[in-house]
Amino acid sequence: MERLCPQLLLSLKEYSGAKFTKDLIAGVIVAIIALPLSIALALASGVSPEQGLYTAIEEFVACIGTASGYAVLVGCVALAIQIV
Are residues 30 and 78 in contact, defined by beta-carbon separation less than 8 angstroms?
A: no
Residue 9 belongs to a domain: no
11 torsion bin: left (phi>0), alpha (psi -120 to 50), beta (else) = alpha
Domain that holds residue 65: 18-83
Count how many domains the chain has: 1
46 torsion bin: left (phi>0), alpha (psi -120 to 50), beta (else) = left
How many Å apart are CA 59 and CA 77, to the nearest integer? 11
pLDDT per position as a tens digit, 29-81: 888 888 888 899 889 989 999 998 888 888 777 776 666 555 665 655 554 55
Residue 12 belongs to a domain: no
Residue 3 belongs to a domain: no
Q: Which position has the higher pLDDT, 12 or 32?
A: 32
Residue 13 belongs to a domain: no
